[in-house]
Structure 1
Amino acid sequence: MDSMNHDHMHGMNNQPPPGGATMNHHHHLMMHMTFFWGKNAEILFSGWPGARTAMYVLALIVVFLLGFLVELISHSKLIKPGSTHLAAGLVQTLLHALRVGLAYLVMLAVMSFNGGVFLAAVAGHTLGFFLFGSRVFQKSSTLVPDGKPSHLPPVAMSC
């Protein structure tokens, strides 16, 4: 069935926008399905960052910081010893929700398929892990239950 409207399949409309402005409207709505390089991207929000270089750089910084915050939250010990189980459980649950929410925002940003966004996300996670999760700045090595050093910390947050 070759008469299928492929634009309709992707949620795009070939009709010009109201007011008669037809200036490359179709291209603006095109969603990339392969990696591309360039500042003309749409990341997380409709129309953002647009075609402005400064806004694209800001978007890369935001994605970097989101990845960095995911690692900070993943490796922080914010629950004080001696806290009640309920208080510790609530803090742990809220931190988990925050970490998952930020991680999903990073994932959605990377789904823009922009190469710069991908590199910013990886760089944010990498620097965050280096500072907070690696052995470089830890006093003792991370141990797994059998007593051997772990190469990566567990994904689950512990008290």
Structure 2
Amino acid sequence: MFELDPRLEADSHAVTQWPLCQVRLMDDARYPWLILVPRRASAVEPFDLDEVDQTQLWQEANRAGAILKTETGAAKINIAAIGNIVSQLHIHVIARKPGDAAWPGPVWGQGQAERLDHAALAETLTGLRAKLIAPQDNAPQDSTQ
């Protein structure tokens, strides 16, 4: 049965459920940053998913990236599956712009996360949900795998 890693839960906020992934907002005001977590037990690497889920994962990462790029005016979208600290398979989708806190380097290990205050979090989640939730996303999901 799928269970979200406690560190991912502590560092991010639930936005919505897509056909494969739980979509989460990273709690760092420095970057527009989504995390996609496939709801598949024991998945550590993308190749741990069957071919159908691998395709779905890439489609969902592309969808998240396209939405972030449009909504933020990002110069570049970084999509990565690192997982050295949290082994549960998760994909980072991060909107980047020249002059952001880590530009042009990677966001990992650059300063301290700046938590979203309550008002900013509520506003960001509302805006993201309006963009990320589509009617097909509300279909029942199989999370028993």
Rg larger in structure: 1
Same topology, TM > 0.5: no
TM-score (norm 2): 0.30
Q: Which gives a bigger RCO, structure 1 or 2 (Cα 8 Å, sep 6+)?
A: 2
Q: Name the TM-score, length of structure 1 as normaliser.
A: 0.29
